Amino acid sequence: MAKSPEQEHPKKAFGWAARDTSGVLSPFKFSRRATGEEDVTFKVLYCGVCHSDLHMTTNDWGMSIYPLVPGHEMVGEVTEVGSKVKKVKVGDKVGVGCVVGACHSCENCTNDLEVYCPDMILTYSTIYHDGTITYGGYSDTMVANERYIIRFPENVSLDASAPLLCAGITVYSPLKYFGFAEVGKHIGVVGLGGLGHLAVKFAKAFGAKVTVISTSISKKEEALEHLGADSFLLSRDQEQVQAAKSTMDGIIDTVSASHPILPLIELLKTNGKLVLLGAPEKPLELPVFPLLMGRKTVAGSATGGLKEIQEMVDFAAKHNITADTELISMEYVNTAMERLAKGDVRYRFVIDIGNTLAATKP
């Protein structure tokens, strides 16, 4: 007879979970495994709310396992370490991102690309090595193998740094891999949301010239004055688009809604690269001729491996890069999800787990 989530493991845990495709989250008692010799246990203090949490709670992608505790941008303080753990000690500030397991033997794993491992185990709503469901960071405690633990410097703001574990690495990785992280490169950033605003910050820190590309003129002042972009391109204005053709070395496209990519391809210089980070529900139309005439590339990118995530966090700390966040209580999370679905957040919700979760216990 299968054990209940509360009885599967020895460590008592508490969080909020969705029980079905309604996506509605409510208090949920479950359990975490004991701290193994290579494990790190930490108290969760903050957890970012990612757009994928919204998709997963309602099973938009057809892969959700209920009950589902979302959250893969969790940060907190180490409370216990296994006997073989070398990376961190009790009291350290740490976090866990999108992945908590992989095969550790395939080509991707041996090249520090665990996120592309065929046997990758997601931080929540996936079956772990022991056959139990993984549960995410909308909870009071977390246990993970030290390989998947990210260290945070003492001087950083943990709540504003939590979104780096998904949104941050999702833009940092392609900036580095595709050669955009160079002084003088001209980089376009499409969409000024949770990913886009961090793409601007990282690209500027690398010394690139940044143009924010948006359908909304209301984003112009924010892009230029607050985020420090060099220019703003209103994609609905054909004169502006025409003037900007063949001027960009690369474009980071963060938009998840269906949208035409031909105008973006035309903004690229010869050998330019358009990197898609959003995941539209319907396939995009890919015009091939403009690619041929400029030896241009359309590519995609996920998050990043553990080594690169640590590199990104350290780079962010050095350059004072954090997400622009709205700190919310655990009780507010369902309202936050409704607002997120409408794009009503600037730019990332972060749940104050440490100060507000316990009060919601039944």
Asked, as a colleague might, if the bond just before 67 is cis with ω within 30 of 0, I would say: yes
Give the C-alpha separation, 200 to 249, whole Å.
15
Nearest to 95 by CA among 139, 37, 51, 144: 144
CB burial of 266-286 (b: ≥16 within 10 Å; e: otherwise) equals: bbbeeebbbbbbbeeeeeeee
| pLDDT tens, residue by residue, 139-171 | 999 999 999 999 999 989 999 999 999 999 999
**pLDDT above 80 for 82:** yes
Give the C-alpha separation, 128 to 125, whole Å.
9
Residue 279: pLDDT band (50, 70, 90) is confident
Q: Angle at which helices 194-205 and 167-177 pack, to 10 degrees?
A: 40
Residues above pLDDT 70, as percent of the chain: 100
Give the C-alpha separation, 195 to 347, whole Å.
8
| pLDDT tens, residue by residue, 88-118 | 999 999 999 999 999 999 999 999 999 999 9
pLDDT at 257: 87
- Chain mean pLDDT for the chain: 96
**pLDDT above 70 for 1:** no
Q: What is the mean pLDDT of residues 121-132?
A: 97
Model-wide pTM > 0.75: yes
